Chain A
């Protein structure tokens, strides 16, 4: 266990407010996520019914950009550190994504143009993520970082939940005037950008005295504590079964009606947003790494429930609730964990490297799980991942 900022018992109960910059960034993410999830939820419908595009072409549009997003995330982090202006870099990312929303109606039925816009949108997301989390890490007092990230992730998740509701409501009230969805999505994204520009402060002390070179950045990033954290996060990421399979297994194993499938992700998200702040505070109090690992213990419990052969409602609710808690205990908490380990000069790139490593590990895990499940079935695949997860948690517990 590392104990850089272990506060006194009860300190997290203090009435110290979450910094206004963190709250403002939370609102930026809320509006941006409404905007983004509106388009994500509605794009398949738009392409098929608005433009008459078939499945075959749909496959070509999507899914080509995962690698590019990872690369841009690293670049965004580096640019924020190099210029010492994370807010400016983040604003560029938010602005780029906002602008693409108006491009969709203009692109019409051109699949190349739509694919390009989606790539730009994801590029914007990749660029802004590292700088954004760096601003949070630099703006909040070190002893309440867990709570600060909890507040941000809660607002972020609320936005993600509202987006599809807004999009589908618009379709209902405008008689499928698809352009209206894009225009409203653009307006939400712009509101987010305005809040960023007006209410988020460029963190003080980040103006680099001298420009950080890639080499110096890398040297700062190989500090042993941070390196171990990255390796552990990736190892744990490799043992993480993707949401899609958790949901399929939850539905199959508990025999709950197929009709309820669309509601299952909602259960996870609602638990996540309700628990984000309390779990963040708990992490500040008893140790973030400990909470991060306990979170993976909860994931192990989810695997166990899904393998147990127990059926029915209570098991389903418990599994989804635990999975939501897993997110609350790992998503923002990992950033809060890494923040204090990184000097301000490399904070954005350090967080970006960590996020990218974890995301790539989870992607590999998702693909391998798919292969495994098709070869040996869902149950044995979960058993295999459970074993890897146990090893990863134990190893991470000892390493730190």
Chain B
């Protein structure tokens, strides 16, 4: 009798699980991406699907059936970082102008940031992991890599590059890198180095595989379209605030967003910055002027990972 109840309970639990999963599996695709559109934004919907909306009408747009955790696009090259079931892991899919997968890069960690150079030639990403034992428990390590589509070269980890902080080679094993952004020459890039309790904005060179510090306390850089300014988040205690620095003068400007945010910003144009931050526990895409004026505006709710399509 006891065994019959046991078997009955197991059958009932199986039914509950199957029914719940079946009811949660619905397709919500409303269209496909148009990478030739103008003034348009690629984003990831709250359902985890890639979508696209027009800057002039952000509430409308399409949601496709492609699942990504983080995505970015430029000049016909799109990167989609996603989870894979077997073996359970993550990968970065590099898509061509026809949105077909051209290259799959296996990732060692949960996707965090993604970027494509303006030319579409370079793809950069960041993943994070828990539990590398050189860290205090509960802290994270990150890895950033770059893929060069022209040569097929994979720079698997920035830890393989030689880092210089204030001109001195930096050897520490606790080096972590996150948030790659590319300059126009397809050789220079910027990335954050975290080591000890400090973070540095680093200028990298793909050709000689070096990284040199620019300033301290600047994370997840994002170069402006004209390459003269860099937007980043600056840490104050346990909060981050968006700042923009003019690279020629090193003058730093705090942007009008005062709420805590944790994202790699994207420039929608030369004067507007987009980023996501949670609103009532759900991520939404905001914009804020790049010169410190004005105030943040919610561009689209229940959305994240903004990237400009067609300037």
Contact = CB atoms under 8 A, between A and B. Distances in A.
A binds B: yes
B108 A261 contact: yes
B13 interface: yes
Contact of A168 (B13, B88, B136): B88
Q: Is the interface of A mostly helix, strand, loop or mixed?
A: helix
A109 B83 CA distance: 22
A262 B20 contact: no
B9 A173 contact: no
B217 to A, nearest CB: 14
A286 interface: no
Contacts of B26: 175
Interface string A56-100: 101111111010000000000000000000000000000000000
Interface stretch (A176-184, A228-236, A289-297, A302-310): A176-184
Contact of A63 (B6, B25, B69, B137): B137
B261 to A, nearest CB: 8
Interface in A349-381: 366-367, 369-370, 373-374
A251 to B, nearest CB: 9
B49 interface: yes
B17 interface: yes
B304 A176 contact: no
B277 A177 contact: no
A350 B140 CA distance: 35
B117 interface: no
Contact of A172 (B16, B67, B131): B67
A174 B25 contact: yes
Nearest to B160: A258
A334 B181 CA distance: 51
A13 B174 CA distance: 50
A175 B276 contact: no
Contact of A175 (B49, B134, B174): B49
Contacts of B168: none
A169 B85 contact: yes
A204 interface: no
Interface string A242-268: 101100100000000111111100100
Contact residue range for chain A?
35 or more
Contacts of B238: 56
Query: Which of B49, B134, B135 neighbours the largest number of chain A CB atoms within 10 Å of its CB?
Result: B134
B134 A373 contact: yes
A60 B106 CA distance: 29
B138 A44 contact: no
Given A52-B278, A55-B262, A63-B138, A198 B106 contact: no
Nearest to A370: B134
Given A63-B137, A259-B106, A45 B20 contact: no
B100 interface: no
27 contacts: A52-B277, A55-B140, A56-B240, A60-B138, A61-B138, A64-B138, A66-B137, A167-B88, A168-B83, A168-B85, A168-B86, A171-B67, A171-B85, A172-B67, A172-B83, A172-B84, A175-B24, A177-B25, A191-B10, A194-B10, A257-B156, A261-B108, A262-B89, A263-B89, A369-B133, A370-B135, A374-B173
Given A60-B138, A168-B88, A366-B133, 13 more contacts: A48-B112, A52-B304, A109-B280, A168-B83, A170-B21, A171-B83, A176-B67, A190-B13, A245-B133, A258-B108, A258-B157, A259-B108, A262-B107
Interface of A: 41, 44-45, 48-49, 51-56, 58-64, 66, 108-109, 164-165, 167-177, 179-180, 183-184, 187-188, 190-191, 194-195, 197-199, 242, 244-245, 248, 257-263, 266, 366-367, 369-370, 373-374
